[in-house]
Structure 1
Amino acid sequence: MDALKNLLRTFRAVEGDILRITAAEPGPCAVIDPGTLRVEVAAGASAHLVVLHAAAATATLTVDLAEGAQLDLTELFLSEAFAEVSVSQAARSRCRMTAVELTSANASYRIDLRGADAESAFGGAFLAADREHCVLKLHTAHLVPDCRSDSSVRGVAGGEAVGEFHGLVYVAPDAQRTDARQQSRNVLLSERARITTQPQLEIYADDVKCSHGATVGQMDAEAILYMRQRGLSEADARRIQIEGFVGDIVRRCGIEPLSEAVMELVSAKMEEM
């Protein structure tokens, strides 16, 4: 965790409870353990915000994207935090979010696409060991025509841990030509671990392209056998497989040093699982 904190200190620090972005930010912004934070991105402006939850606390994050605004939001959970995130997107705005839970945590996301040609991309991952309990909730609302959303959530649970994903894509009656995809993939590392996944679609328009899917299963036994035949131990083979599974989500954040720091934490977490 110390290495990650030191990396975030090289980013622009967010001060106060309001962050206003009025132009293209030259580098990432970062905040550690926010209580309440409002982010306002002006028309045509862009930024990358990293939020780290390192203490057990409650956090509320509100994001308002004006017309043509762009935001990359990366949220990392290293403590038993409870976080609520609300995002409102105007026309032609773009929001890419990455959420990673590496311990018991409860994260809830609400995304409202309010302007035509708005686009949302969400990638989430959780790793739960021992008796940890990870919860990730995602509600994406298509309120106007011609918007797109794509969400992918991956969960891993070992020991007696519990993981939960609750996802809902809502398409309003006038939100024609909606393009929405939602996927949940999960891996159980023990017989006592449990993951529940509930992706849902609620559609009231007729000209749409919407899909959702969910899987809960074991590790790829053939892949593990293949790696063991090439000299790897079973533990190393399991670790490499899970790192690849989770790494696809982590690397979506788009900041290579941050991805590397988080993947080091993922590797350390695998030692517990």
Structure 2
Amino acid sequence: MEMERIIRECAFDVFRGEELRFDASAAAERAVVAPQELTVRVAAGVAARLSLLHAAAERSQVRVELGAGASLALTQLFGTGASASLHAVQAAGSRCTAGMVLLAEGAAEYRFELNAPDAECALDGVFVAGDAEHCEVGVRVEHNAAGCRSHSLVKGVAGGTATGAFRGLVYVAQDAQRTDARQQSRNLLLGREARIATRPQLEIYADDVKCTHGATVGQLDDDAVLYMRQRGLSEAQARALQVEGFVGDVVSRIPSEPLRALLAEAVSRKLERM
């Protein structure tokens, strides 16, 4: 099984428990396999790395609390049928960087609360749905204080009769002036029966802000395919390269170095079957 192989080859220091603390004396990088109820606390000024491997077809709830000036680089990988919600609460000057890869049917929900000035969050995620699979991603970012920044990019690929869905919301409170928020949903359909629904939204109550959002759902670029075929590639090779480039843009930014190369291989194998 793909997930089991990834867990074995990464040889992570696996944490087993319901509360994980990162402070000056703790290990800076940990992994949790199949979390169900988990609270993660990163002390003020501490930098940490965490990989969450949702290996089972179960529902997970993860709460992250970042102290002032803390930073967390988070990677989430989903196996078949897994679903998880992650709620991050951030103090002043904290930073949460998340990378998400969903290579089978499942669901991921994110909520980021930027509750004090100069907090920042970033999410780069991708789902790949084949056959009759359904993938769903929800992202809610709450700018509750001034001078905070957020970025979210979720890409989706669907082939066969697969379906996908993205729901996004950027909320900016009345006092959250000087907010800088960006939210994008980019999607690629590989067959006539595949479907992806996307709905990014903005809810803004402040006037000194820079907020953007957008969504696209499209097919492969026929001109790019023709260009590559003129240089000796078959049509199948040209299309595969396009899709791998589309997905690889996100996978290359996964925070966990041990996972990055393995995930690129797993994506290639999944796309070959589509």
Under a length normalisation based on structure 1, what TM-score does the superposition of the two structures give?
0.96
Shift of residue 24, structure 1, vs aligned partner: 7.9
Which letter maps to 1:28? E
Q: 1:106-185, aligned counterparts within 5 Å?
A: 106-185=107-186
- Aligned position for 1:244: 245
CA RMSD of aligned residues (A): 1.3
Which letter maps to 2:81? E
* 1:6 and 2:8 are equivalent in the alignment: yes
What is the rounded CA distance, in whole Å, between the counterparts of 1:140 and 1:88 in structure 2?
10
Which letter maps to 1:67? A
What is the rounded CA distance, in whole Å, between the counterparts of 1:254 and 1:66 in structure 2?
20
Shift of residue 241, structure 1, vs aligned partner: 1.2
| Structure 2 gap ranges (5+) | none
Which letter maps to 2:185? S
Q: More displaced, 151-160 or 247-256?
A: 247-256
What is the rounded CA distance, in whole Å, between the counterparts of 2:119 and 2:232 in structure 1?
49
- Aligned position for 1:201: 202
Q: Which runs of 4+ in 1 moved over 6 A?
A: none
Shift of residue 26, structure 1, vs aligned partner: 6.0
Which letter maps to 2:195? R
What are the Cα deviations for residues 127-171 of structure 1, in whole angstroms up to 9, with x where unaligned? 010110000000000001110001111110010110100000000
Secondary structure of the residue aligned to 1:86 is strand
Secondary structure of the residue aligned to 1:205 is coil
Q: More displaced, 22-31 or 78-87?
A: 22-31
Contact 1:157 1:193 in 2 (8 A): yes
Which letter maps to 1:13? V
What is the rounded CA distance, in whole Å, between the counterparts of 1:225 and 1:178 in structure 2?
43
Under a length normalisation based on structure 2, what TM-score does the superposition of the two structures give?
0.96
What is the rounded CA distance, in whole Å, between the counterparts of 2:259 and 2:192 in structure 1?
33
| Structure 1 gap ranges (5+) | none
- Aligned position for 2:97: 96
Identity of aligned residues (%): 54
* 1:229 and 2:227 are equivalent in the alignment: no
